[in-house]
Amino acid sequence: MKKFIVVLFVVVSSFAQNVKLKTGDIIFQSMNCGPLCEAINEVTEGYQGRDCSHLGMVYIQNGSIYVIEAGGKEVKMTPYETFKTYTSEEMFVGRLKSKYRKYIPEAITFSLQQIGVPYDEEYLYDNGKYYCSELIYDAFLHSYKKPLFDLVPMTFKSPKSNEYFKVWETYYKNLKMEIPEGQLGCNPGGISTSDKLKIIGTLR
């Protein structure tokens, strides 16, 4: 039994370290952003139950690896080496199943055209801004001509108490707006569990 566990560990470790990124891959991570990310993780579930609060799409240009992401103040193209510093945990990589990969080039083109679009701090779908998973959702909506991923009702309440997380109450109070409870949106965890892609491995 011990020998089996050791062999399994070696196989999994090798699998994790040998992911060769391709344009269109989606990298999921548990971002280091304090209570806000903790609240996101508590109400969403990523691949195999993993925490997942941020994502970006790989774009390889002239041999250099970038990640197109909505983060910080705007949509941007971030060097992969910078993107991976957002987390201290292992990231996991999703790749679209073969029948959907033909939609990647147009999704990339769409995403690049959004560079400079403001970050969607309000987390409202279709308001002219983008949060991380919303960008990916719209990129493939544009290329696939119909939803490739799903929109679901968003919640900002703790499943333990059914009360709003204090961090979200403060967040939206500062924005001078109501919490958009129940409005349709998407999240990194939901995309990571989509049957349209396969998780091919992990990266550090």
CATH number of the domain that residue 151 is part of: 3.90.1720.10
Per-residue pLDDT tens digits for 12-26: 333 345 689 999 999
Helix, strand or coil, per DSSP, at residue 147:
coil
CA-to-CA separations, 92 to 79, 142, 172, 198, in angstroms, rounded: 17, 25, 30, 10
How sure is the predictor about 109, in pLDDT bands with cuts at 50, 70 and 90?
A: very high
- Amino acid making up residue 117: V
Q: Which domain holds residue 190?
A: 21-203
Q: CB of 46 within 8 A of CB of 193?
A: yes
Between CA 166 and CA 147 the distance in angstroms is 33
The pLDDT value given to residue 32: 81
Whether this model's pTM surpasses 0.85: yes
Q: Quote the number of domains for the chain.
A: 1
Judge whether 35 lies within some domain. yes
Judge whether 134 lies within some domain.
Answer: yes
Asked if residue 5 is part of any domain, the answer here is no
- Segment 80-97, tens digit of pLDDT: 999 999 999 999 999 999
Of 194, 175, 178, 198, nearest to 186 by C-alpha is 194
